[in-house]
Amino acid sequence: MKIRVMIVDDEPLARKRIQLFLLDEPDLEIVGECVNGAEAIEQIGRHNPDLVFLDVQMPEVSGFDVLRALPADRWPLVIFVTAHDQHALEAFEVHALDYLLKPFKLSRFRQALQRARQNLNAQDVNGQKQRFREWLLAQEQIAYPSRLTVKSGERTVFVEISDVDCIEAAGNYAILHVGATNHILRETLANLEAKLSPKRFLRVSRSAIVNLDRIKALEPATRGEHVVLLKDGRKFTLTRGVREVQQRLESFC
């Protein structure tokens, strides 16, 4: 039986490179190719691949976000495709997973693939996945702060992240909506997103991040689009897959 493989990368050249290298591997079968994290969550759930080449750094939904959104019993074995620093790569190795550092050569690709084959044949493959999942969740708890610091003139305000309803982009600034109070930060939405736990917050579009606990409903809009309705009445156009958002909400609950 062939090993079912999926490729997830937002860069066409990177996907093509993996495809070409896989042509010489008769025991592998490509069952899907995804251009972003949201698509990957849906396709992995549909095709249930054995092995996924997963790009870590993708806009809006990273490779780590993809894994967080999947139920534990649907995790495939993963070869990360990444440009992360050595510290992160060492963490991958400790947890019996492998990585390809862009740009990677055929020899390194085959080495990672052989390691994946060995892991798939190992009796403890589910244990390996579980240990990495535990590590990933632990890193999430360590990495994300509980408060944001807002400076206004000589005054400094500490905002509890759990109190933030949503965040809107305004050029190179961001507006924190906290109940009836707004705070302005001289920081991009992308920088703020990196500080927020993906288990609690979701970037619904290029210009908005919402607290999952504040979402009241997902409503259909024109041209097949959907909007996110918050409990305070605010609405934001959703530019990512509805199914992914539903999965995130179910996981959050």
Domains recognised in the chain with CATH numbers: 3-142 (3.40.50.2300), 147-252 (2.40.50.1020)
Instruction: Give the separation between CA 202 and CA 37, rounded to whole angstroms.
Output: 13
Token pair for residue 226?
């959907």
Report the pLDDT averaged over residues 14-42.
92
State the pLDDT at residue 123: 53
Q: What is the DSSP letter of 221?
A: -
Helix axes 106-121, 12-22, angle to 10 degrees: 70
What 3-state class would DSSP assign to 74?
helix
State the pLDDT at residue 154: 82
- Does position 162 have pLDDT exceeding 80, yes or no? yes
168 phi, psi to nearest 5 deg: -115, 145
Say if CB 240 and CB 246 are below 8 A apart.
no
pLDDT in tens, 210-229: 999 999 999 888 777 889 99
- Does position 97 have pLDDT exceeding 50, yes or no? yes
Report the pLDDT averaged over residues 58-79.
79
Token pair for residue 144?
């994300």
Q: Residue 141: which residues within 8 A CB-CB, separation 6 or more?
A: none
- Does position 4 have pLDDT exceeding 90, yes or no? yes
